[in-house]
């Protein structure tokens, strides 16, 4: 198992290096005048040159990249032209909101999608299976921002069941910071009123973000379960008269879920990079909203920092999925 882990970690090194090169090159070679936007329309040429020199934008691209990598190895992601704050500090304040939203969405997708996939495999070619296909196609094809607007229209404006956006109302003080997840921090502090309020604010954006992975996980679990059901060891277990629940949980569900793990890992990274629209619609103060504001103002250091952090989390998530896959299916440890 240790050799399996070492091999996976070594494969991450070229991925991280390539990610820094690609993101830095794209950000620096895009047209625009970030210094002019940051300095303002009334700034003189001397002030613009001083600002460019302060942030190192007057140097060649390769020199800027060398400085960026040197700072990166020390945990420095640069400074924002717009806010003048360190990008690492900004990301540290916005990241917990995004992770809370993504974890909630993935929890909904896994808890609902895996059992439904197993059930539709058992009821294949019957009306629950056909209904799940229609729902899955609709969930995958519907844009998330449009679904978010529909949820706001129905549950926030018509039924008045849920708040329109944000993480907490302005008049509610957040619980003491422990994890950065308001729901978890509220439970740790024993503040159940704030916990319920935070859950209400989290519900709609999490549902809007979860439907696409839920549909994919459900269909993947269905196809994997059908394939496992046709295996000889499942036929043998049935012939021996083992309890049906034991066959479903130990023989079918476990082996079918190992293939679904890969999809879960990919979707986790995809959701991290795809929260921009959902966070914008629901005014969710996460990395997506932070990156959107930076892109509009052509403030590229936050954009590079956000992309790098999301890429690292995506890589680490897939490493954990590989490890979990190795625990479920020992054969891959020696692949």
In CATH, what number is assigned to the domain containing residue 175?
Answer: 1.10.3720.10
212 lies in a domain? yes
- Residue 200 within any structural domain of the chain: yes
Residue 296 and residue 163: Cα distance in Å, rounded?
A: 27
Q: Which among 94, 106, 69 has a CA at the least distance from the CA of 285?
A: 94
Query: Does 239 map to a domain?
Result: yes
Distance between CA atoms of 123 and 80, rounded to whole angstroms?
A: 55
User: Is residue 151 situated within a structural domain?
Assistant: yes
Tokens representing 177 are: 């910071």
Assess if residue 293 is contained within a domain: no
Inside any domain, residue 220: yes
Alpha-carbon gap, residue 113 to 99, rounded angstroms: 20
The answer to whether the CB of 212 falls within 8 A of the CB of 139 is yes
Residue 229 lies in a domain: yes
Q: What is the DSSP string of 91-143?
A: HHHHHHHHHHHHHHHHHHHHHHHHHHHHHHHHTTTSHHHHHHHHHHHHHHHS-
Q: Do 195 and 202 meet the contact criterion of CB atoms below 8 Å apart?
A: no
Residues 6+ apart with CB under 8 A from 63: 56
Of 35-39, 41-45, 181-185, 265-269, the range with the highest mean pLDDT is 181-185
Q: Which of the pair, 3 or 335, is modelled with greater confidence?
A: 3
Q: Answer yes or no: is pLDDT of 4 > 90.
A: no
Residue tagged 């018509």 (tokens): 158
pLDDT confidence bin for 325, thresholds 50/70/90? low
The pLDDT, as a whole number, for residue 96 is 92
Q: pLDDT tens for residues 201-238?
A: 999 999 999 888 888 888 888 888 888 887 777 778 77
pLDDT at residue 99, rounded to an integer: 92
Range 294-319 average pLDDT: 80
Q: What is the domain range of residue 146? A: 96-285
Question: Per-residue confidence at 51, pLDDT binned at 50, 70, 90?
Answer: low
**Which positions ≥6 away from 269 have C-beta within 8 Å?**
310, 313, 314, 315, 317, 318
- Kindly report the backbone phi and psi dihedral angles of residue 177, in degrees, each rounded to the nearest multiple of 5, phi listed first: -70, 125
- Mean pLDDT value across residues 258-267: 78
Residue 5 · residue 334 · CB < 8 Å: no
Q: Give dist(CA 295, CA 82) in Å, integer.
A: 11
pLDDT band at 200 (very low <50, low <70, confident <90, very high): very high
Based on the structure, what is the number of domains in the chain?
1
208 vs 212: CA distance, rounded Å: 8
Following DSSP, what letter does each residue of 158-171 receive, concatenated? Answer: IS--S-SSSSS-TT
Chain segment 53-83, per-residue pLDDT in tens: 666 666 776 777 777 777 777 777 878 877 7
Kindly report, residue by residue over 127-139, the tens digit of the pLDDT: 777 887 787 777 7
Residue 212: which of 137, 116, 152 has the closest Cα?
137
190: left (phi over 0), alpha (psi -120 to 50) or beta: left
- Name the more confident of 168 and 5: 168
118 lies in a domain?
A: yes
DSSP designation for 330:
G
Q: Residue 67: CA atoms inside 13 Å, Cβ hemisphere, count?
A: 14
């Amino acid at each position: 198992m240790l050799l399996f882990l070492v091999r996976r970690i070594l494969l991450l090194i070229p991925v991280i290096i390539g990610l820094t090169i690609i993101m830095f090159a794209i950000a620096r070679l895009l047209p625009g005048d970030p210094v002019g936007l940051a300095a303002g329309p009334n700034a003189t040429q001397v002030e613009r040159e001083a600002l460019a020199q302060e942030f190192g934008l007057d140097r060649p691209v390769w020199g800027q990249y060398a400085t960026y990598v040197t700072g990166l190895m020390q945990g420095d992601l640069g400074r924002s032209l717009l806010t003048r704050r360190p990008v690492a500090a900004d990301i540290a304040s916005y990241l917990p909101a995004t992770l809370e939203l993504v974890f909630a969405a993935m929890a909904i997708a896994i808890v609902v999608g895996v059992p439904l996939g197993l059930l539709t495999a058992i009821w294949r070619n019957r009306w629950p299976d056909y209904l799940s296909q229609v729902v899955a196609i609709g969930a995958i094809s519907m844009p998330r921002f449009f679904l978010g607007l529909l949820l706001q229209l129905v549950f926030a404006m018509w039924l008045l069941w849920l708040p329109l956006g944000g993480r907490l109302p302005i008049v509610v003080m957040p619980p003491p910071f422990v994890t950065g997840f308001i729901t978890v921090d509220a439970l740790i502090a024993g503040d159940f009123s704030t916990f319920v309020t935070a859950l209400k604010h989290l519900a709609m954006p999490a549902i809007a973000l979860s439907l696409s992975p839920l549909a994919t996980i459900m269909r993947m679990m269905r196809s994997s379960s059908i394939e496992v059901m046709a295996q000889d060891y499942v036929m043998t277990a049935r012939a021996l008269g083992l309890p049906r629940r034991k066959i479903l949980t130990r023989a079918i569900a476990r082996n079918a879920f190992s293939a679904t793990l890969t999809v879960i890992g990919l979707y986790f990274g995809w959701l991290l990079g795809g929260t921009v629209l959902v966070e914008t619609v629901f005014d969710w103060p996460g990395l997506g909203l932070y990156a959107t504001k930076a892109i509009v103002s052509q403030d590229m250091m936050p954009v590079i920092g956000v992309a790098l952090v999301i890429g690292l989390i995506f890589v680490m998530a897939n490493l954990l999925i590989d490890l979990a896959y190795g625990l479920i299916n020992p054969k891959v440890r020696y692949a």
